[in-house]
Structure 1
Amino acid sequence: MTDRTLGVAVIGTGMMGADHVRRIDRVISGARVTAVVDIDEERADALAATTEGCTAYTDHAAAMADPAVDAVLIASPGPAHEAALLDALARDLPVLCEKPLTPDAESALRVLEAEQKLGRRRIQVGWMRRFDSEYLRLRALLESGELGRPLLLHCRHRNVRVHDYFTDEMLITDAVAHEIDCTRWLLDQEITAVRVLRPVPSSGAPEGLSDPQLVLFETDGGAVVNVEMFATCGFGYQVQAEAVCEGGTARIGEGHGLMTNTAGRWGGEITQDFIARFADAYDREVQSWVDAARRGETTGPSAWDGYAVAAVCEAGVRAQVSGERVEVSLAERPALYR
């Protein structure tokens, strides 16, 4: 495969799927979009028309059977992921699956079982922050041991607004899920317990949404992590993290780019959405996946990482409801993912 272009089927033609089609077609190298899939036939046809040699499908299995398809990128809603993943594994196709791997731990374990039967990894989960330059530098610094053992991790995750249908549960499963993965990756530790605290809701939050929330994690390495989740802050999109270690601290996400001085004020811009903030990370993520797939390999976040996040999310949702500390239950980690 290293001597030819990788043909990719993109499943799901919403915001993320369309952005990945653009990315593969115009930004990265070594791949081309040969199929797009969506249950909305008109939307799939419209997106396919923007890419030469691309065929539109309404069924993912039909797209995977296309001889021009060598790999699959899943950007459909979470509940549809399991079926697509299992079909891709049955065909031994490399997969980049946008988060979540699946919406719950039970279905994620079924995917793990299917992948293990192949005897090799085929799934990379789309935790794009692992490809962000600032997160990579923080990870390297913590790995080096220069600052000593990590004791605390302070995280902030702020959105301008969310849809009216957004729920408390989605604050964990759709948003804090990223901090769950980052905690595990940055600290190289598993999360063992979760607690959720709720201040008075913001007046800017949709009716019935308890926003913001403070989510607390404990890890098996003895670290404590706090996540400020503010989905309706109103002023911008911010993702920040500060590691507090025995010998110093390190902070990322300040966003100090262009600064201006005018009319008696100084300041800069705040990114308004995650696609803009993590554009470079998405590019590196997909390029890395394509390069590995062309070599016949799978790298990056694994299906185990997707399962572990799902398990912590389930504990987090229970903690939201109960207001109590909830322990995380993880299956034994299979040898394939060690």
Structure 2
Amino acid sequence: MTLGIAVIGTGRMGADHVRRIDSVISGARVAAVADLDAERAKAVASGIERCSAHTDPAAAMAAPGVGAVLIASSGPAHEAALLEAFARGLPVLCEKPLTPDPAGALRVLEAEQRLGRRLVQVGFMRRYDAEYQELQRTLEHGELGRPLMLHCRHRNAASPSFFTTEMLIRDSVVHEVDATRWLLGQEITAVQVLRPRPSSHAPQGLGDPQLVLFETSGGAVVDVEIFVNCGFGYEVRCEAVCERGTASIGGSGGLRTRSAGRAGRDIPQDFTIRFADAYDREVQAWVDATRQGRVEGASTWDGYAAAVVCEAGVRAQETGERVRVQLAERPALYA
């Protein structure tokens, strides 16, 4: 049967997911939406048959036909929405972050353990990007030998007015945190942040760009260039350096043009363009698994681990020191 979904949060990401469920993927429909802005919720729900609009997430989850929840509200609201979904036994796709802080993530982790089964998939969409999947398969098969280093670039044309130095880690580098753990199958054990002088194009007070260094439990080293005011577009790259060779993604692929004495290619201007296919694949995979009674993808443990690493990264930003990552013991539910 078609899966009825309550979408919590109808801002940019939530509205895009509503569009995706309504017109792109199969096997699901938007049964309800919720947003603190009642008019925005009504506007998003309008035109979708049998979709109700609410200001209370609990009311949206209780709406007729709802069998699962997609959380796309602001990070601080995630914990309450997740616990409400747990109380109703509803499977959840939760956009990153699971919660903004490790303490909240640990509470969610403990609540899901008390249920005795997984209900949550965390929305780290790079795991569904075709290039990232190819890189992960290459590393897993081992033909290049053990991975020794990852070189990552994460660039954005310009940052929004509300963006802070801390958000470089919590909102941007968090994707490299999950990608590192997923690609290597290792935990991140320490973080260090190097801060060159800020770009003249960075807003006042924003320490942009930065170089973030990870150490992993398997002895690999990862460097992440984060530059959210590069000026030319949205660019994500990753190169794995292994014992017998290298593998890289995010390079010079895509359409190239030659005209008026110049050659080049278009560069995506934001993440919704670069990772559009990944978001489609992610939500379709979640719907398919949910309809079959399964939970796949990034788990609550992955969301918790990312929150702990980001917390260490923010401390490293502030102090300039190498900060160790201290994780709780991994529960058997997430083995």
Using structure 1 for the length normalisation, give the TM-score. Answer: 0.98
1:62 to 33, 48, 59: 59
Partner of 1:91: 88
Residues 195-236 of structure 1: per-residue CA shift (max 9 Å, x gap): 000111001101000100000000000000000000000100
Partner of 2:124: 127
- Give the C-alpha shift of residue 255 in structure 1: 4.5
- Give the C-alpha shift of residue 144 in structure 1: 0.2
Partner SS state of residue 193, structure 1: strand
- Give the C-alpha shift of residue 53 in structure 1: 1.1
Partner of 2:272: 275
Partner of 2:97: 100
Describe how 1:256-275 pairs up with structure 2 within 5 A: 256-275=253-272
Q: Residue type of the partner of 1:85?
A: L
2:321 to 295, 318, 324: 324
Partner of 1:154: 151
2:188 to 188, 191, 202: 191
Partner of 2:292: 295
Pairwise CA RMSD? 0.6
Whole-angstrom distance in 1 between the partners of 2:257 and 2:163:
35
Describe how 1:184-223 pairs up with structure 2 within 5 A: 184-223=181-220
Match status 1:180 vs 2:177: yes
1:75 to 72, 76, 79: 72
- Give the C-alpha shift of residue 261 in structure 1: 1.2
Whole-angstrom distance in 2 between the partners of 1:106 and 1:79:
12
Structure 2: unaligned runs, 5 residues or longer: none
1:9 to 3, 6, 15: 6
Structure 1: unaligned runs, 5 residues or longer: none
1:164 to 154, 161, 167: 161
- Give the C-alpha shift of residue 50 in structure 1: 2.8
Whole-angstrom distance in 2 between the partners of 1:237 and 1:149:
30
Conserved in 1, the CA contact under 8 Å of 2:146 and 2:243? yes
Partner SS state of residue 157, structure 2: coil
Conserved in 2, the CA contact under 8 Å of 1:195 and 1:316? yes
Conserved in 2, the CA contact under 8 Å of 1:255 and 1:270? no
User: Which segments of structure 1 move beyond 6 Å, counting only runs of 4 or more?
Assistant: none
Partner of 1:308: 305
Conserved in 1, the CA contact under 8 Å of 2:52 and 2:63? no
Match status 1:229 vs 2:226: yes
- Give the C-alpha shift of residue 65 in structure 1: 1.3
Partner of 2:39: 42
- Give the C-alpha shift of residue 183 in structure 1: 0.2
Conserved in 2, the CA contact under 8 Å of 1:152 and 1:225? yes
Whole-angstrom distance in 2 between the partners of 1:200 and 1:233:
14
Using structure 2 for the length normalisation, give the TM-score. Answer: 0.99
The count of corresponding residues between Structure 1 and Structure 2 is 335
